[in-house]
């Protein structure tokens, strides 16, 4: 019996007992997954830097410090090695930056001088660390602020090793436990994965890019919820954590368990090689729908393959750029892309070229401040402004696929001219590789992402020009409705089933059909159970969803009667109001703007102002 099944069974048998307080806590999703477990509340990490008791009262020598440095370095190298073996290469940078600090004479040398001048070893470590932390903590640059975590992590490890505590911590098995912790260092996360924790709830310290990418990559479900929200949860409380939405349920009742039962089981089953995923997805009346996946890291490719993806419909190539310490070189990129190709074992992969800008700015890149970044230098505009970055990436892709078919698509294509220009740059890269006798793919298929309203009117021309199309529904909805997808204030206006959007998708389907070009749809609409039927009715035959949603989407499609949804889609496409469409699709919806009345906001405003004035 799986753990989750066991817990469900346990929960059912104890229903006659007094029910503990049930609460729903709304936090922020960090890394996907739905898990159950009992809470383990860590007030401070076992060997935290803040714990002044570590090693105090023991007199250490300079030789002890040097031994602790060596030991720390060995441990980090081991972590690095382990993570390299199991996970994508870019993540190993986390430990590279730790090792760089340890090798830095300005850090360890300074501690050493302190010890030589008579300071206690522990005090010297804490003192120098605090000195550097205070410099970096005040930097406005996030990248430097993350250095604070690295420094604290190193100091904590040095102190523990000094006191021979490195591996002396309890060899806890966190199987069936969800950890609630105020802070987390990358190396702690690795350790928690090794100790089989079900999930993590982070309560302070915010979520750094390192931590969220690492959690996703390690498949560790994770939620961020403030300390106040979590304050009355004690060790032993039963929790169900929906990290896909950032929700945590305490002492979940049968209704919640029933709602999540299928998802809980999916997580375990889907990863077993003999899982229930079928190689092909058919509607109940036999229409074939291709299920592709969206990934951003090499490590996700293996998961995608295991979870039954027919291919990668969207490889977000900016992900390695966002977690690196600088723009990855052509060779580094080549290694990454090659690994993705090899992991997918011949299945189709659509590499999207860099989609930087908007909310995706690498921390090492000093981009000009933009008041409206989503309408700023992003997607292909960024690529054209920084041609060398774009061309380097194209060369890496062409080289990585020298002996395989290659599909490359461009994000946020706004005109046929823009598409042609991108193609010219690809052709130039091919000529260049040929001239220097570098093995490369000379006939890549090139696709356009349809995710701007201006691409809809020219969908037919783009379909003629490109080898394939992909609808990016997140951006398409955001731009067609002029609703920032990250702005909670206007969330109720983000209505993907707006008649204009569904008609736009239909127009793209017709254009692709007319020119016999493959078309897929990615973004959140592709995994929305309320919208998948109408998308199929509109004529979408390939959906790109995150690896962990494949099974659920497949189950849903198997229940769909294609002929029936064709009929619904016909009616939906003829409808012009939100009310009609919500009725046809069974989506409860009021007219946007009937949410919180303006007066509520007005009433709150003076209070907020008064508070801020006093502060």
* Binding interface with ligand PEP (CB under 6 A): 314, 316, 355, 451, 472-475, 522-523
522 binds, among Mg ion, ligand PEP, none (CB under 5 to 8 A by kind): ligand PEP
What Cα–Cα distance (Å) separates residue 362 from each residue in 322, 340, 386? 5, 22, 14
How many CB atoms are closer than 10 A to CB 527?
Answer: 22
Question: Least CB distance from residue 316 to ligand PEP, whole Å?
Answer: 5
Cβ proximity to ligand PEP, 289 vs 314, nearer residue: 314
188 binds, among Mg ion, ligand PEP, none (CB under 5 to 8 A by kind): none
Cβ proximity to Mg ion, 472 vs 537, nearer residue: 472
Considering only 80-88, 204-212, 234-242, 468-476, which stretch makes contact with Mg ion by CB under 5 A? 468-476
314 binds, among ligand PEP, Mg ion, none (CB under 5 to 8 A by kind): ligand PEP
Radius of gyration of the chain (CA): 26
Q: For residues 462 and 377, give the distance between their C-alpha atoms in angstroms, rounded to a whole number.
A: 22
473 binds, among Mg ion, ligand PEP, none (CB under 5 to 8 A by kind): ligand PEP
Question: Least CB distance from residue 566 to ligand PEP, whole Å?
Answer: 24
For tokens 């940078």, name the residue: 93
Residues 6+ apart with CB under 8 A from 222: 30, 31, 33, 199, 200, 201, 202, 211, 212, 215, 243
Question: Least CB distance from residue 343 to Mg ion, whole Å?
Answer: 24
DSSP state of 21: P
Cβ proximity to ligand PEP, 100 vs 480, nearer residue: 480
Cβ proximity to Mg ion, 339 vs 378, nearer residue: 378
Cβ proximity to Mg ion, 277 vs 380, nearer residue: 380
Cβ proximity to Mg ion, 218 vs 542, nearer residue: 542
Site string for Mg ion, 408-447 (x = CB under 5 A): ----------------------------------------
Cβ proximity to ligand PEP, 472 vs 533, nearer residue: 472
Cβ proximity to ligand PEP, 316 vs 498, nearer residue: 316
Tokens describing residue 58: 């023991």
172 binds, among ligand PEP, Mg ion, none (CB under 5 to 8 A by kind): none
Considering only 160-168, 258-266, 448-456, 524-532, which stretch makes contact with Mg ion by CB under 5 A? 448-456
Phi and psi angles of residue 36, each rounded to the nearest 5 degrees, phi first: -120, 150
Give the length of the chain: 615
Cβ proximity to Mg ion, 93 vs 451, nearer residue: 451
Question: Least CB distance from residue 474 to ligand PEP, whole Å?
Answer: 3
Residue in 198, 475, 484, 528 binding Mg ion, rule: CB under 5 A: 475
Question: Least CB distance from residue 419 to ligand PEP, whole Å?
Answer: 17
Q: Answer yes or no: are the C-beta atoms of 275 and 526 closer than 8 Å.
A: no
Cβ proximity to ligand PEP, 29 vs 523, nearer residue: 523
Phi and psi angles of residue 224, each rounded to the nearest 5 degrees, phi first: -105, 125
Question: Least CB distance from residue 329 to ligand PEP, whole Å?
Answer: 23
Question: Least CB distance from residue 381 to Mg ion, whole Å?
Answer: 13
Transcribe 113-130 into DSSP letters.
HHHHTT--HHHHHHHHHH
What sections of 138-181 are H helices per DSSP? 142-162
- Determine the residue with CB nearest ligand PEP: 523
E-strand ranges in 236-392 read 238-242, 247-250, 281-282, 288-295, 311-316, 348-352
Question: Least CB distance from residue 352 to ligand PEP, whole Å?
Answer: 8
Task: Name which of 145, 304, 144 is nearest 217 in CA terms.
Answer: 304
Question: Least CB distance from residue 386 to ligand PEP, whole Å?
Answer: 18
Tokens describing residue 440: 């490369």
Element (H, E) at 302: helix 298-306
Considering only 103-111, 136-144, 182-190, 475-483, which stretch makes contact with Mg ion by CB under 5 A? 475-483
Q: Answer yes or no: are the C-beta atoms of 285 and 527 closer than 8 Å.
A: no
What Cα–Cα distance (Å) separates residue 208 from each residue in 185, 214, 246? 10, 10, 16
What Cα–Cα distance (Å) separates residue 605 from each residue in 3, 176, 599, 611? 48, 44, 10, 10
What Cα–Cα distance (Å) separates residue 422 from each residue in 292, 311, 408, 446? 25, 24, 11, 9
Q: Answer yes or no: are the C-beta atoms of 532 and 565 closer than 8 Å.
A: no
What sections of 316-372 are H helices per DSSP? 318-323, 330-343
Cβ proximity to Mg ion, 314 vs 398, nearer residue: 314
Question: Least CB distance from residue 241 to ligand PEP, whole Å?
Answer: 24
Q: Judged by CB under 5 A, does residue 242 bind Mg ion?
A: no
343 binds, among ligand PEP, Mg ion, none (CB under 5 to 8 A by kind): none
Q: Judged by CB under 5 A, does residue 472 bind Mg ion?
A: yes
DSSP state of 597: -
What sections of 523-591 are H helices per DSSP? 532-538, 550-559, 562-574, 578-585
Question: Least CB distance from residue 475 to Mg ion, whole Å?
Answer: 4
Q: For residues 90 and 73, give the distance between their C-alpha atoms in angstroms, rounded to a whole number.
A: 19
Question: Least CB distance from residue 439 to ligand PEP, whole Å?
Answer: 30
Q: Judged by CB under 5 A, does residue 93 bind Mg ion?
A: no
Cβ proximity to Mg ion, 149 vs 451, nearer residue: 451
Binding residues for Mg ion, rule: CB under 5 A, are 451, 472, 475
């Amino acid at each position: 019996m799986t753990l989750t099944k066991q817990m469900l069974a346990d929960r059912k048998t104890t229903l006659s007992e007094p029910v503990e307080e049930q609460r729903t806590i709304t936090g922020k999703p960090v890394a996907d997954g739905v898990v159950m477990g009992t809470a383990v509340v860590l007030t401070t990490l076992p060997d935290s830097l803040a714990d002044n008791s570590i090693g105090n009262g023991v007199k250490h020598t300079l030789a002890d410090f040097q031994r602790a440095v060596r030991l720390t370095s060995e441990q980090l190298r081991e972590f690095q090695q382990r993570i390299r073996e199991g996970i994508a290469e870019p993540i190993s940078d986390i430990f590279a930056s730790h090792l760089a600090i340890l090798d830095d004479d300005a850090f360890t040398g300074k501690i050493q001088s302190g010890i030589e001048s008579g300071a206690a070893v522990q005090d010297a470590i804490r003192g120098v660390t605090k000195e550097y932390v205070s410099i970096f903590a005040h930097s406005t640059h996030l990248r430097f602020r993350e250095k604070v975590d690295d420094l604290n992590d190193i100091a904590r490890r040095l102190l523990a090793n000094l006191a021979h505590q490195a591996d002396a911590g309890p060899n806890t098995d966190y199987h069936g436990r969800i950890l609630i912790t105020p802070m987390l260092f990358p190396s702690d996360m690795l350790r928690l994965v090794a100790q089989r924790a079900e999930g993590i709830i982070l309560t302070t310290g915010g979520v750094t890019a390192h931590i969220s990418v690492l959690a996703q990559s390690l498949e560790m479900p994770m939620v961020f919820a403030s300390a106040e929200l979590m304050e009355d949860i004690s060790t032993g409380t039963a929790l169900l954590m929906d990290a896909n939405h950032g929700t945590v349920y305490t002492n979940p009742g049968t209704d919640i368990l029933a709602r999540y039962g299928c998802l809980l089981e999916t997580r375990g089953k889907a990863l077993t090689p003999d899982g229930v995923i079928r190689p092909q997805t058919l509607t109940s009346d036999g229409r074939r729908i291709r299920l592709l996946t969206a990934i951003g890291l090499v490590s996700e490719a293996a998961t995608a393959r295991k979870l039954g993806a027919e291919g990668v419909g969207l490889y977000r190539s900016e992900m390695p750029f966002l977690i690196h310490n600088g723009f990855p070189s052509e060779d580094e990129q080549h290694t990454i892309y090659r690994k993705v190709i090899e992991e997918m074992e011949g299945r189709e992969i659509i590499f999207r070229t860099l989609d930087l800008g908007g909310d995706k700015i690498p921390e090492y890149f000093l981009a000009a401040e933009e008041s409206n970044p989503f309408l700023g230098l992003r997607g292909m505009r960024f690529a054209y402004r920084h041609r060398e970055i774009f061309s380097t990436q194209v060369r890496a892709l062409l080289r990585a696929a020298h002996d395989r078919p290659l599909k490359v698509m461009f994000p946020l294509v706004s005109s046929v001219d823009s598409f042609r220009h991108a193609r010219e740059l690809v052709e130039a890269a091919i000529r260049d590789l040929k001239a220097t006798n570098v093995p490369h793919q000379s006939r890549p298929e090139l696709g356009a992402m349809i995710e701007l309203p201006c691409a809809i009117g020219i969908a037919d021309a783009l379909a003629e020009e490109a080898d394939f199309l992909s609808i990016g529904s997140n951006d398409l909805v955001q731009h067609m409705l002029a609703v920032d997808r990250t702005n909670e204030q206007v969330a109720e206006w983000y209505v993907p089933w707006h008649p204009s959007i569904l008609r736009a998708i239909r127009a793209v389907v017709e254009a692709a059909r007319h020119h016999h070009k493959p078309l897929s749809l990615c973004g959140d609409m592709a995994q929305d159970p309320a919208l998948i039927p109408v998308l199929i009715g509109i004529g979408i035959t390939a959906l790109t969803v995150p690896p962990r949603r494949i099974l659920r989407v497949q189950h849903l499609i198997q229940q769909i009667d294609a002929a029936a949804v064709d009929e619904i889609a016909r009616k939906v496409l003829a409808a012009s109001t939100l009310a009609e469409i919500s009725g046809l699709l069974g989506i409860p919806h009021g007219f946007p703007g009937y949410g919180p009345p303006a007066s509520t906001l007005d009433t709150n405003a003076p209070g907020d102002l008064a508070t801020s004035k006093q502060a």
